[in-house]
Amino acid sequence: MDKPIVVALAEGMRGPQADKVAAVSPRVRIAYVSNSGEPRDDVSNAEVIYRGFGLMPPGLRRLLPSMPKLRWIHVMGAGVDGDLAPQVVNGDVVVTRTRGLHNLPVSEWVMLQVLAVTKRLPELVLAQHEGKWDPVEVPVTIEGRTMGIVGYGEIGQTLAVRARAFGLRLVGTRRHPAPAPELDALYPSNELDRLLEQSDYVVILTPLTPETRGLIGEPQLRRMKAAAWLVNVARGEVVDEGALVRALRERWIAGAALDVFRQEPLPPDNPLWKLPNVLITPHNGGVRHPNFSDAALNQFLDNLGRYVRGEPLKNQVDKTAGY
């Protein structure tokens, strides 16, 4: 019989999820780990780990020394910035990630925020809670305005379809520009200023990499229109939070709709909570929907079958690029 393949799973997968993993092949053996990165079983022979279901990047990093035979990490989410420890990047471990499942919910979240801030929905909801009949002036529609998508990838393409239906003009940046007839313009990443200067809504969708950490700082915020809104559903660290707070207080820009932050949960004393021109959601733009866990697991199961058969894995991450 072929040698067993030990797959490390978070304890939260005990039960039906783990049964599905084991059912992929008689060779599969399950070893459980805690969310904090403590082995519950012997993981010294583990070749595969599913990083999800409560196991977060810090837990994975604590586990790595216990798994000398690790060959493959599958990340439940789309972002892998926290999983790319030096020994992973510099070693022969393959990293794969879930793809496609965030495209629609993130796109809908962005459109929700764009419509909400343009139509001044937060002020209307506040007036409702205070029992006030307080009509507000809504001076613009979003039709004809410009949305700039920073990091134009799969999610950006899905967003573009929905934004175009509202009559928005669309521009984007991408590390390696390719033909994008659905956009009015696509710029290389080093021409970000061109996007910032013309956009009424600057939507951050870029992955967090060494190149994008702090990408939006004081110079970039000052390049934006005074009436523009910053919309971030990527990673908090892409934006210099201190510079953003100052930009919002001093009205360099009109406001920000934020789903991600440098520190999560966002601390109660963070000044962003108190700013009137900020709309905050608790990192639920992409994955807080009931079918996500099962759909993500199915992508892993398909890849695990490939691993058992010695076939190339789908959705591999470029560890050097960071996505």
Of 74, 145, 174, 283, which is the active-site residue? 283
Whether 129 is catalytic: no
Three-class DSSP labels, 19-87: HHHHCCCCCEEEEEECCCCCECCCCCCEEEEEECCCCCHHHHHHHHHHCCCCCEEEECCCCCHHHCCHH
d(CA 38, CA 181): 49
d(CA 272, CA 268): 9
Whether 235 is catalytic: yes
Of 97, 145, 169, 235, which is the active-site residue? 235
Query: In sequence order, what DSSP letters do the residues of 169-222 get, joined into one string?
Result: EEEEEESS----TTSSEEEEGGGHHHHHHH-SEEEE-PPP-TTTTT-B-HHHHH
Whether 264 is catalytic: yes
- Residue 91 φ/ψ, nearest 5 degrees: -100, -165
d(CA 258, CA 254): 13
Between the alpha carbon of residue 142 and those of residues 169, 189, 200, 308, 323, the distances in Å are 9, 25, 9, 50, 32
Of 211, 264, 288, 311, which is the active-site residue? 264
What's the CA angle centered on 155, arms 61 and 56, to 5 degrees? 15
For residues 166 and 143, is the Cβ–Cβ distance under 8 A?
yes
Positions marked catalytic: 235, 264, 283
